[in-house]
């Protein structure tokens, strides 16, 4: 890495900037400097200091990180809950006593008054029910929004299974090493047996050759 000479390049580019007060020349001097930096990147890449596809690999890495952390779109749910809250907050409208029939208005008033107590009780009951329902909805929404607040049993069991398999993979190299060691030991035994067998057969053949030479004609 020719770092010093590169620094000199940058330094000289920086010195060239001195004495230029116009904005355009300042921009051009920065652009010169940037071009020198670009050529330095190219040089490092051609020298093998930067691996090919480095930037693309880093971008792809970050995209993978983001992809695995995307969350569901809950905007529509929030809007629905807001509408629900607004409607619950609205007071029940009074029932009018208007009537097109003579004496009808009086009759409506009497009926309204007669059932007012029961109606209020009913409204109170419905309000209590609605409040309870609103609480339930909010708890449910919170649970949906926060993954820590709810559990998917089916996913957990699958995850457990995957983790177990992962554990077995992680354990396997240790077992493989033992197996390889055992095989190596057995091969060594076989090699030794073969070597001694070859040595004894060589001895036998040399003895046979020498006996043949010793016997005349």
Partner 1 sequence: MRIHQIVPSTSSWRQLESAFVLLPLFRSVDPDSSVYGADLDDVDRDVDGKTVARGDLPSIHVRPLHALLAALRERVSESLVVVHAGAIPARVIDALMMHAQQLVVVAGDGIGDDGATQTLLFDAEEGGRRLAAPVQMQRLASRAARAVAFSVGSAELLKQHGFADVVVCPPIVDPTVVVSTQPHAPTVNHFETMIAGKLFVALDGVSPVSRSELIVQAYHVVSTYLDPTAHLALVGPQQPRYSECIEHEINELNLNRAWIAGDVDVTERRVYLDNASVAVATRVGEADHASLLEAMQAGVPIVATEARGLRELCADSALVLPENADATLIAEAIVAAATDMSLREEMMSAGRACIAGHAFDVALARVADAIFEVAAR
Which residues contact partner 1 by CB under 8 A? 7, 10-11, 13-15, 17-18, 23, 26-27, 29-30, 33-34, 37-38, 40-41, 44-45, 49-50, 54-55, 58-59, 61-62, 65-66, 69-73, 75
Provide, rounded to whole angstroms, the least separation between the CB of residue 132 and partner 1: 23
Angle separating helix axes 3-16 and 23-46, nearest 10 degrees: 170
CB 33 within 8 A of CB 14: yes
The smaller minimum CB distance to partner 1, of residues 70 and 118, is found at 70
CB 145 within 8 A of CB 74: yes
d(CA 97, CA 112) in angstroms, rounded, equals 8
Provide, rounded to whole angstroms, the least separation between the CB of residue 74 and partner 1: 8
The smaller minimum CB distance to partner 1, of residues 62 and 169, is found at 62
CB 99 within 8 A of CB 105: yes
Residue 30, phi then psi, degrees to nearest 5: -65, -40
Q: Return the H-helix or E-strand segment holding 44.
A: helix 23-46
Provide, rounded to whole angstroms, the least separation between the CB of residue 171 and partner 1: 24
The smaller minimum CB distance to partner 1, of residues 22 and 151, is found at 22
- What's the token pair of residue 33? 């400097």
The smaller minimum CB distance to partner 1, of residues 11 and 201, is found at 11
CB 143 within 8 A of CB 149: yes
The smaller minimum CB distance to partner 1, of residues 64 and 202, is found at 64
Provide, rounded to whole angstroms, the least separation between the CB of residue 7 and partner 1: 5
Provide, rounded to whole angstroms, the least separation between the CB of residue 18 and partner 1: 7
């Amino acid at each position: 890495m020719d770092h010093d000479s590169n620094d000199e390049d940058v330094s000289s580019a920086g010195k060239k900037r001195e004495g230029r007060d116009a904005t355009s020349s300042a921009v051009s001097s920065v652009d010169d400097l940037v071009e020198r930096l670009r050529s330095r990147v190219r040089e490092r890449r051609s020298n093998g200091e930067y691996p090919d596809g480095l930037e693309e690999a880093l971008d792809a890495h970050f995209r993978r990180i983001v992809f695995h952390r995307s969350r569901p779109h809950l905007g529509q749910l929030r809007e629905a809950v807001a509408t629900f809250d607004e409607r619950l907050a609205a007071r029940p409208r009074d029932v009018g006593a208007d009537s097109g029939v003579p004496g009808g208005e009086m009759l409506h008033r009497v009926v309204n008054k007669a059932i007012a107590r029961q109606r209020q009780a009913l409204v109170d009951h419905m309000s209590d029910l609605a409040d309870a329902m609103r609480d339930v909805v909010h708890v449910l929404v919170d649970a949906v929004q926060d993954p820590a607040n709810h559990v998917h049993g089916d996913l957990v069991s699958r995850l457990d299974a995957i983790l177990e398999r992962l554990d077995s993979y992680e354990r396997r190299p240790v077992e493989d090493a033992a197996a390889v060691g055992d095989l190596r030991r057995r091969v060594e035994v076989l090699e030794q047996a073969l070597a001694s067998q070859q040595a004894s057969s060589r001895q036998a053949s040399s003895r046979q050759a020498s006996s043949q030479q010793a016997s005349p004609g």
